Amino acid sequence: MACGLCPVTDKKSLERVPGVSQVQINLDVKTAKVIFDADKATVAALVHATTDAGFPSTVRK
């Protein structure tokens, strides 16, 4: 994420994943915190959503 619109694009792509209830993007450290229902969404689906939006991601714990 490099510009002011990047977090908006990332957030929208994550919010479209069924089961996602909250997304918080931090542009300064280039992270997203996602709260989701594990019965409806998977981590792989979240990674796929950001990658399809042009922002390949990995999971940090």
pLDDT by residue, tens only, the chain of 61 residues: 667 777 889 999 999 999 999 999 998 888 999 999 999 999 999 999 999 999 899 998 7
Q: What is the pLDDT of residue 40?
A: 97
Q: What is the pLDDT of residue 1?
A: 60
Domain that holds residue 38: 6-52
Q: Is residue 13 part of a domain?
A: yes
Q: Is residue 31 part of a domain?
A: yes
Q: Is residue 60 part of a domain?
A: no
Give the chain's domain count. 1
CATH number at residue 42: 3.30.70.100
- The three-state DSSP-derived secondary structure of the chain is CCCCCHHHHHHHHHHCCCCEEEEEEECCCCEEEEEECCCCCCHHHHHHHHHHCCCCCCCCC
Q: Is residue 34 part of a domain?
A: yes
Q: Is residue 16 part of a domain?
A: yes
